Amino acid sequence: MYIIPLIQTLKARKVLRLAFHDAVGYSLAGAYEGDGADGSLITFSDIELGYPANTGIDIPVNSLKPFTARYEQVSAGDLIQFAAAVGLSNCPGAPRLEFFAGRPEATKAASDGTVPSPGGNATAILDRVADAGLSAEELVFLLASHSVARASHVDSSVDASLDSTPAVFDSQFFLEVLLKGQGYPGNGSNNPFEAPSALYKEGEMRLHSDFVLARDDRTSCAWQSVVGTPSISPSGVPSAPAHTRTSDNQLLMTEGFRSSMAKLAVVGQDKSKLTDCSAAVPLPKTLCEEHFVSAAYPPSRCYGDVEQSCVAPFPIVPVASKLSFISATFPSLMPKCSTSADSDNKRSVMNVHEF
């Protein structure tokens, strides 16, 4: 099954969004219909694509649909989660996600209303994901996906990234959402799904949901921990060099995202009946350390621009000499990493026959 080369042409952000929207269609309390990560967004696309929260999801759904017809042994639920794992492997700095296969086909559509609204308050968002079986901390880690995201349907006047390094899976998103907002990208209009962005002049958007979760008592410390963990000496002065701290929080973020995605991928499913096919997932591209350092203030910004809610000391963060938006606009200008990832990816294409 030569599915990986085609899936790798899909945008990681689109298949990650699809994976979340499909999986969150589940309710522990029975408030909503749906069996979670069951592929219902493909199987019952005629229903679920009509929900307002799924605007734009038709693109990855229609790209993946032909596979479900051509390979009847692959369920739609497996295909969506596999596509997310493969898509993420295109993002430098991302973790290699696990992939378990064997989800049965969906038997019903999920209800409308299962996807948390970007315009919702923190309680509404946290209550909804808790009802789907995910903790507040797991939600924070899942939002690392916004580090490689664009918002194409939030404001019709702009196709905006959510951080200044949209081509790299890094913790920059978590720092930039904490900076004081100043305006809105595009033509300056806004709607309830947006909060003022610190980098609106550069075309960056801030989702209202990210804004409130970064500042809510239940999530602010998990959010801040991704930016960095200060190492405090007895004198109260941070003692660890910046490089040590940033390396550690990149690992914290990638491990947190990997474990949270592993849980998301089986929402509503019986994992004991699934088969571990993680070997089929390509190794992600790696970060070039000489080009990317996690969590740096944009030029001319500093701690005074941070709206801190967590009571723990804020980490010392370096200041970037320039922003990296160019990496998303001109992918060919992305720094190339010299790694063994390419040859490993070829091996993964072969292994996928076993899936």
| Active-site amino acid positions | 21
CB nearer to Ca ion: give 154 or 352: 154
Task: Give the separation between CA 202 and CA 213, rounded to whole angstroms.
Answer: 23
Task: Give the separation between CA 313 and CA 232, rounded to whole angstroms.
Answer: 9
Residue 233 CB, nearest approach to Ca ion (Å): 31
Residue 187 CB, nearest approach to Ca ion (Å): 25
DSSP state of 49: T
CB nearer to Ca ion: give 38 or 204: 38
- Helix axis angle, 122-131 relative to 208-215, nearest 10°? 90
- DSSP per-residue string spanning 237-268: SB-S-HHHHHHHHHHHHHHHHHHHHHHHTTTT
Task: Give the separation between CA 200 and CA 184, rounded to whole angstroms.
Answer: 5
Task: Give the separation between CA 284 and CA 16, rounded to whole angstroms.
Answer: 15
Residue 22 CB, nearest approach to Ca ion (Å): 4
CB nearer to Ca ion: give 212 or 328: 328
Using alpha carbons only, give the angle 22, 26, 30 rounded to the nearest 5 degrees. 160
- Residues with Cβ < 8 Å from 217, sequence gap 6 or more? 309
Residue 319 CB, nearest approach to Ca ion (Å): 17
Residue 117 CB, nearest approach to Ca ion (Å): 17
Residue 166 CB, nearest approach to Ca ion (Å): 6
CB nearer to Ca ion: give 78 or 170: 170
Residue 131 CB, nearest approach to Ca ion (Å): 14
265 φ/ψ angles, rounded to the nearest 5 degrees = -65, -15
DSSP state of 36: S
Binding site for Ca ion (CB under 5 A): 22, 25, 38, 40, 110, 147, 163, 165, 168, 170, 172
- Helix axis angle, 58-70 relative to 12-23, nearest 10°? 80
Task: Give the separation between CA 142 and CA 242, rounded to whole angstroms.
Answer: 25
CB nearer to Ca ion: give 147 or 219: 147
- DSSP per-residue string spanning 268-325: TS-GGGSEE-GGGSPPPP---TTT--SS-BPTT--GGGB---SSSPPPP--B-SS--T
Host H or E run for residue 101: strand 100-101
CB nearer to Ca ion: give 198 or 352: 198
CB nearer to Ca ion: give 126 or 168: 168
How far from chain centre, in Å, is Cα 73? 28
Task: Give the separation between CA 270 and CA 133, rounded to whole angstroms.
Answer: 13
